[in-house]
Amino acid sequence: MLDIKWIREHAAELQEIADQKGIDVSLSDLLMWDQKRRNLLQEMEQLRQNRNALTGAIHAAMQQGGKTEAQTLKQKVKENNSRLEEAQRVWREAVDHFNRLMLLVPNPVSPDTPRGSSDQDNVMVRSFGKAPEFPFTPKDHVQLGQLHGMIDIARGVKTAGSRNYYLTGDGFWLHRAVQQLALDVLVRKGFTCMEVPLMVGTEAMVHTGFFPLGEDQSYRIAGEDRWLVGTAEVPLISYYSGDIVDVACPIRAASASVCFRSEVGSAGRDTTGLYRVHQFSKVEQVVLCRNDAALSEQLLQEITANAEEILQLLELPYRVMAVCTGDMSQKTYKQYDIETWMPSRGSYGETHSSSNLLDFQARRSNIRYRDEDGKLEYCHTLNNTAVATPRILIPLLENHQQEDGSIYVPRALRPYMGGRTKLVPPAAESSNPETIMS
């Protein structure tokens, strides 16, 4: 949410951004309801002053014995009150319209954000590593998962419907290993880890900027005003909602949590494998800092670098993309996506996202701090996916597969995988005792 005073001065710019982000909102309608509610506030204040003046006149008339005059004044009070009630009713209606439209106004975008209509218009900033060239016909992650007894999509669908899965054996341990690696990296960088609620109220989703526009992507608890979260960003930011915080040093918070997404609008897309599923796990970074554009830009680069470090530890080729206006959410001021090479797709696939929201989210959540002069200011907030699994298992399995069906274990993951240097398919492992110690 933005300051209405700022919106009045930048309505044309915001309308253009809303159009580019695909948000159906009319800034001219917003300004019309804004003006109407302000006019009605003035009218109501004048009517209240009239009522007070008439009440005083009635009292004076009664003291002087002017009963007829008092009756006339009482009738005027009645008419005034009727007008006040009607003005209040229309004002409430105007406020409802105003508030509804305010929740749809987008955050502005940074000057260096590319203009475009879809992810096809995102711009590469840098890349790391090279896509592997296999001297054999590589398998996709589903085939590798089945070969190793790691992934069982058929039973996931049987149990929970489409876009569900089981991770078994080494699949489970890889899933946990990449999360713990990410957490250990973040802890070394000063992040405080939290276990967070996975169900939150509507207010938390609105305050963090996921509602009303993202409501169709979320699962609601039947009969309750609670929703399953699609990211730990929601409870991490909500932890500070309504608070006056100390950001002399930026607040760095992280969580590893299960996440849920309905994937409405993705029918027919990525229906095979682990790329687009309803339930997944993420290690999320959230940062709160002073209302300082230079500082929050610096922190955006920092949290993006954290995610890149994790990918480098996983020894995976990736590229960082500057996200264009048409591929950004309502709340985002500047965004990078990190895409990791996925051999089965023959392309890079998004695995991470970093966003700077300026004070958009903090205004909704009422998260403030005191500046050097003691004045209350809204914080800037940022977030980043340090790692998301099982999606990260796609490049991890596919890029590190060997011709014999084994999978190389990156050095950074070995402490979390029992010291193993490679994963061997169960059949091959049982037929060759020497591979057990691999």
**Is 226 one of the annotated active-site residues of the chain?**
no
Nearest alpha-carbon partner for 280 in 302, 310, 259, 299: 259
Measured CA to CA in angstroms, residue 40 lies from 52, 89, 100 at distances of: 18, 10, 18
Active-site entry in 233, 391, 398, 406 = 391
Active-site entry in 255, 296, 353, 365 = 353
- Chain centroid to CA 329: 8
| CA–CA separation, 383 and 299 (whole Å) | 10
**Is 391 one of the annotated active-site residues of the chain?**
yes
Active-site entry in 276, 319, 345, 414 = 276
299, 253 contact by CB (below 8 A): no
Active-site entry in 37, 226, 252, 261 = 261
Backbone angles phi, psi at 151, to 5 degrees: -125, 130
**Is 353 one of the annotated active-site residues of the chain?**
yes
Nearest alpha-carbon partner for 390 in 192, 170, 132, 235: 170
Nearest alpha-carbon partner for 319 in 357, 351, 345: 351
Active-site entry in 339, 350, 365, 398 = 350
SS (H, E, C) the chain: CCCHHHHHHCHHHHHHHHHHHCCCCCHHHHHHHHHHHHHHHHHHHHHHHHHHHHHHHHHHHHHCCCHHHHHHHHHHHHHHHHHHHHHHHHHHHHHHHHHHHHCCCCCCCCCCCCCCCCHHHCEEEEEECCCCCCCCCCCCHHHHHHHCCCEEHHHHHHHHCCCCCEECCHHHHHHHHHHHHHHHHHHHCCCEECCCCCEEEHHHHHHCCCCCCCHHHCEECCCCCEEECCCCHHHHHHCCCCCECCCCCCEEEEEEEEEECCCCCCCCCCCCCCCCCCEEEEEEEEEEECCCHHHHHHHHHHHHHHHHHHHHHCCCCEEEEECCHHHCCCCCCEEEEEEEEECCCCEEEEEEEEEECCCHHHHHHCCEEECCCCCEEECEEEEEEEEEECCCHHHHHHHCECCCCCEECCHHHHHHCCCCCEECCHHHHHHCHHHHHC
**Is 255 one of the annotated active-site residues of the chain?**
no
Active site residues: 261, 276, 350, 353, 391
